[in-house]
Amino acid sequence: MLKKNYTKTGRRCRVTFKYPNEEQAKTAVLAGDFNQWSTDATPMKKLKDGSFSVTITLPAGQSYGYRYVLDNTTWVNDPAADRYVANEFGEQNSVVEL
């Protein structure tokens, strides 16, 4: 799930990324263009229902590629992404459009 809340000026957007975690992973990290694809810069919080969530603020008017990293090893896409684009590893990245 992607939840977007724009500021009054519309220049920035608070985006909540939520991953359902059907794999029952113990940890999840949000990696993407906005954090140089870091696998530790944006850890996600595990919720009571087992899903993961994190909210970050990004400049509006741009698209950002991202993926979730489960248990430090498995890269997965967001089933609720705005769209998907091919990456250099022969897979696809999720994209959020702001």
Q: Give the pLDDT of residue 1.
A: 87
| pLDDT grade for 81, boundaries at 50, 70 and 90 | very high
CB 65 within 8 A of CB 85: yes
The arithmetic mean of pLDDT across residues 79-97, rounded, is 96
Would the pLDDT of 28 be above 90? yes
Q: Could you tell me the residue ranges of all domains in the chain? A: 2-97
| pLDDT grade for 77, boundaries at 50, 70 and 90 | very high
Instruction: Determine what percent of the chain is predicted with pLDDT higher than 70.
Output: 100
Q: Which residues contact 7 (CB under 8 A, 6 or more apart)?
A: 13, 14
CATH of domain 2-97: 2.60.40.10
DSSP class per residue in 2-71: EEEEE-TTSSEEEEEEEE--TT--S-EEEEEGGGTT-SSSSBPEEPTTS-EEEEEEEESS-EEEEEEEET
